[in-house]
Amino acid sequence: MPSNVEIKAKISDPTQFAETAAKLSKSEGTIIRQHDTFFNCNQGRLKLRDFMNETGQLIFYERPDTDGPKLSRYSISPTNNPPSLRTVLSEALGVKGEVKKERRLFLIGQTRVHLDTVEGLGHYMELEVVMRPEQTVEEGQQVAEDLMEKLDVSKESLVTGAYMDLILKGIKET
């Protein structure tokens, strides 16, 4: 199962963050609109990501709900009919909730840097260090921590869990 080391943090100044990420990635980033539907499941998380263009991905992942860099293992299956798959999974498993966001993706080395505007939550960033087969978790964590420093992301701004967890807890935009 592929893996990455992830962190998620609240962002107070998305414009400044985007400027810094653009300099580091030498690009303006790519805008991606996503509508994620989370389904009830016994372990990990299962979500259907609809890219709002007749394509999507069914994603299962497991990761600890801690702040700071953490290992995430995942499996992804593409789909060309997200609405139909959403109906089947909703009937079979039940819907836990939905997350709508606009994501600006920057690629910096082996890391996917996301600047997310999440409906009802506000501005966040995510780092996903895509692990190479020969890399240790500690090496991936070091890559994430180094990039956090370059992006001026403080440890105090780190959050645990998924956006879905924050929505279910009733955390609102500040």
Q: Which tens digits make up the pLDDT trace of 67-120? A: 888 999 999 999 999 999 999 999 999 999 999 999 999 999 999 999 999 999
Q: What is the pTM of this model?
A: 0.90
What letter represents residue 47's amino acid?
K
DSSP assignment of 70-118 equals EEEEEEEEEES-HHHHHHHHHHHH-EEEEEEEEEEEEEETTEEEEEEEE
- The CATH homologous superfamily of the domain defined by 3-168: Hypothetical Protein Pfu-838710-001 (2.40.320.10)
What gap in Å lies between CA 99 and CA 161, rounded to an integer?
13
pLDDT, tens digit (0-9, with 9 covering 90-100), for 143-160: 999 999 999 999 999 998
Q: In this model, does residue 174 exceed pLDDT 60?
A: no
Averaged confidence pLDDT in the chain:
95
4-8, 62-66, 91-95, 96-100: segment of lowest average pLDDT: 62-66
Beta strand pairing status for 122-130 and 70-79? unpaired
Query: Quick check: 172 pLDDT over 70?
Result: no
Taking only the tens place, the pLDDT of each residue in 116-132 is 999 999 999 999 999 99
Q: Where are the domains of the chain?
A: 3-168
Identify the residue with better confidence: 172 or 103.
103
Average pLDDT (132-146) is: 94
User: What are the residues facing 34 on neighbouring strands?
Assistant: 101
- pLDDT, residue 86, reads 98
Euclidean distance between the first and the last CA atom of the chain, given in angstroms as a whole number: 37
